[in-house]
Structure 1
Amino acid sequence: MRRAAAFLILAASAAPAVAGPQLVPHRAVYDLALDKASDRSGITGLAGRMVYEFNGSPCEGYTVNFRFVTQIDTRDVSRMTDQQTTTFEDGEGKNFSFVTKSYVDSSLDKELRGTATKEPNGLHVKIEKPEKESLELASTQFPTQHLLELLGKADKGENFFETTLFDGSEDGDRVMTTTVVVGKKAEPKADDPEIKADLKLLGKDSFWPVDIAYFDMHDDGGEELPEYRISFKLHPNGVTRDLVMDYGDFSMKGKLVNLALLPEPKSCPQK
């Protein structure tokens, strides 16, 4: 499966001098459960937990620490996977670094480590692990910029747009096209289970329902289908909840069960 770091698109960045959405540093914990699975998937059960920690500022850059643990049961076997990712994106969205360690049943299965730099004619990617490699990809943006673009368009009432993204997922060798659909801004209902779960930090904060489909830019097949899609409720401060991650043959739900705000970063110095 493509790593749930599709979820890593939910972090953000812009040039320090530009006013725009203000993202709150936070640590969010989500309980994962199977939403649905086709017979072809062979999956009979799924449970897990996802922890997402976002920190930083436009002048300091942004750091995301992400852990995604799942226990997947099939008719024949049960397997635990543990993906641990750390990324850093500078405040101007020009440089991006990523490290991902993937474990299967507590044994290291794969380690990916690399950097990406925006250049005048595209994106230069250097992979350090598992093997040294240098790649030239199409010009694009990184996860933090991707979210700020989404928040900016949602705030203006734009309901549909297409853009591209590099997040270092899989082998760190591709740019994804994303198709984004933004619903009408809404208020949480009184019986919303995530709000009732003592998540007073969200309070009555409004949100946008969002659906994002991810396509491989280099897929030259006929009828293009997304590699995966993710839907969620997006709050203006960048907090996301009520997730559904759909991988085609199966999908999983992520419910926010704990939210903690982290210390606000220092204000950027005035120029």
Structure 2
Amino acid sequence: MRIMRPAAFITALLAGSAAMPALAQPTLTPHRAVYDIVLDEASDRSGITGLNGRMVYEFNGSECEGYTVTFRFVTQIDTSETSRVTDQQTTTYEDPGGTSFDFATKSYVDQSLDREIRGSAHKADGSTIVDIDKPQDSEVTLDATQFPTQHLVELIRKAEAGETFYETNLFDGSEDADRIMTTTVIIGKESTTSKEDEEFSVAKAIEPEKFWPVSIAYFDLDKADGEEVPDYRIDFKLHENGITRDLVMDYGDFSMKGKLVDLAVFDMPKGCQK
């Protein structure tokens, strides 16, 4: 069962397309966000009777030194016959220019290692070259694409410009690290945090307070069989400094909600403060 494509949230987003005018780089705030995860909906087909967990997302770095993300997503999934705990741990680094991307993911089921992916990707001659170290050495050549922080920057720029819909693509090193996902992005009307907001007690610490409701659908077109149905969709509130909250992760047969319950905002690296 696919539980999460980590960088696609979170943060899972990316940076400027060639068609966009040269705009100032959004300032992404280094932070650690903790989300409580609960089951939203589940069809009979999913077999899921209960789900809960926690997701911890830590974002560090700057446009001067590049960006590091550490991500952990632990869930307990219950069915009528069994219960299991999944634990996904991911670390990535994206260079300042968005030209290279290192990734490492370990996934555990009931504390036993189930999967490990490790490698790097870089852009060259209009392509994306992926060098995979684990589970075995291999090299994959993919179309030109963006990496996760680039995708986030692009999204914020388009939201600031008042755009409401666009399509782009993404490589984040998830699954077998051998494919690019196509994403369609819907950006809602700009708003500000209010005291009636369920996450206000945590989100009030976010500066600036304005945000956009965003919905991103992720498609693997390599396995499309005529009808283009997204592999999954993520809805969330995006603040202009890159912090996200009020998550809904929809995998078709079931969906999860993520509520921001703790937020630590870190200082910007001194050499990059604006």
TM-score, normalising length from structure 1? 0.94
The superposition leaves residues 173-216 of structure 1 with CA deviations (integer Å, 9 ceiling, x where unpaired) of 100000000000012232112112x4431267111000000001
Structure 1 position 7 matched with structure 2 position 9: yes
Counterpart AA for 1:266: K
User: Do the aligned partners of 2:103 and 2:119 also contact (CA within 8 Å) in 1?
Assistant: yes
Alignment partner, residue 156 of structure 1: 161
Alignment partner, residue 215 of structure 2: 211
What is the aligned length? 267
Alignment partner, residue 104 of structure 2: 99
Structure 2 matches for 1:1-150, cutoff 5 A? Answer: 1=2, 3-5=4-6, 6-10=8-12, 19-150=24-155
The superposition leaves residues 49-85 of structure 1 with CA deviations (integer Å, 9 ceiling, x where unpaired) of 0000000011111000000000000010000000000
Alignment partner, residue 250 of structure 2: 246
**Partner Cα distance (1:30, 1:221) in 2:** 35
Stretches of structure 1 that go unaligned for 5 or more consecutive residues are none
Alignment partner, residue 264 of structure 2: 260
User: Do the aligned partners of 1:10 and 1:240 also contact (CA within 8 Å) in 2?
Assistant: no
User: Do the aligned partners of 1:10 and 1:144 also contact (CA within 8 Å) in 2?
Assistant: no
User: Do the aligned partners of 1:13 and 1:91 also contact (CA within 8 Å) in 2?
Assistant: no
Alignment partner, residue 205 of structure 2: 201
**Partner Cα distance (1:156, 1:180) in 2:** 14
**Partner Cα distance (1:12, 1:227) in 2:** 19
Structure 1 position 226 matched with structure 2 position 227: no
| Cα RMSD (Å) | 1.9
Q: What percentage of residue pairs aligned between the two structures are identical?
A: 62
1:176 to 1:213, Cα distance in 2 relative to 1, 3 A: same
User: Do the aligned partners of 2:11 and 2:244 also contact (CA within 8 Å) in 1?
Assistant: no
Stretches of structure 2 that go unaligned for 5 or more consecutive residues are 17-21
C-alpha displacement of 1:239: 0.4
1:230 to 1:120, Cα distance in 2 relative to 1, 3 A: same
Secondary structure at 2:269 match in 1:
coil
1:179 to 1:229, Cα distance in 2 relative to 1, 3 A: same
User: Do the aligned partners of 1:195 and 1:203 also contact (CA within 8 Å) in 2?
Assistant: no
User: Do the aligned partners of 1:2 and 1:169 also contact (CA within 8 Å) in 2?
Assistant: no
1:213 to 1:94, Cα distance in 2 relative to 1, 3 A: same
TM-score, normalising length from structure 2? 0.93
Counterpart AA for 2:104: V
